[in-house]
């Protein structure tokens, strides 16, 4: 049985490469109209390049799907809201939000400062909060939706050299569990 997402709208953050790209392509292949968000940084969060999101949009369109690119920074609350507003402006709704954007790097705890932790929290947890918060009221108004959060085994079990990343992903896990409980009565 094939899942049809015809008429649905999905936003995927961090969709220019890797898992995010795979999520965006899979949603589009099932008929969803997709907002492909990617700031286009290096894996460690440096730089900025809109072309990864644009390439995924071109792939989706070449396969007969519908998509738009967005290079907003999910860590910025205004940009998180702008990503959702783009979905509403271009497609009229938001049914699926896949929070996938994040950074990764090796840094032992002994070499980590609170500022390093804050950087990971801002991108991973803050990005998830910013986009989910922007989508939440729209999903309630339309009677439901789906929010997917990409976490990591590092956040559940730990990983040497990854204290900053693991702490941020652990926070994402707690956020996801709480939103599942609060969203249940609204079909989210």
Catalytic residues: 165
Sheet-wide strand order for 146-149: 67-70, 33-37, 9-12, 96-99, 146-149
Minimal CA–CA distance to 35: which of 108, 85, 76? 85
Q: Are 68 and 119 in contact (CB under 8 A)?
A: no
| CB atoms inside a 10 Å sphere around CB 110 | 6
SS3 179: helix
Extract the tokens encoding 26.
């899979």
């Amino acid at each position: 049985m094939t899942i049809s997402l015809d008429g649905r709208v999905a936003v995927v953050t961090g969709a220019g490469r890797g898992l995010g790209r795979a999520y965006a392509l899979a949603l589009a292949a099932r008929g969803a109209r997709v907002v492909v968000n990617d700031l286009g940084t290096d894996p460690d969060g440096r730089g900025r390049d809109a072309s990864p999101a644009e390439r995924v949009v071109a792939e989706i369109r070449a396969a007969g799907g519908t998509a738009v690119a967005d290079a907003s920074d999910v860590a910025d609350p205004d940009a998180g809201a702008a990503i959702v507003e783009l979905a509403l402006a271009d497609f009229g709704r938001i049914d699926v939000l896949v929070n996938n954007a994040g950074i990764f790097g090796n840094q032992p705890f002994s070499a980590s400062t609170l500022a390093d932790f804050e950087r990971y929290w801002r991108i991973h947890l803050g990005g998830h909060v910013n986009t989910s918060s922007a989508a939440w009221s729209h999903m309630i108004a339309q009677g439901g939706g789906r929010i997917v959060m990409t976490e990591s085994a590092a956040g559940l079990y730990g990983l040497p050299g990854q204290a900053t990343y693991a702490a941020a992903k652990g926070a994402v896990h707690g956020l996801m569990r709480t939103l599942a409980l609060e969203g249940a009565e609204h079909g989210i």
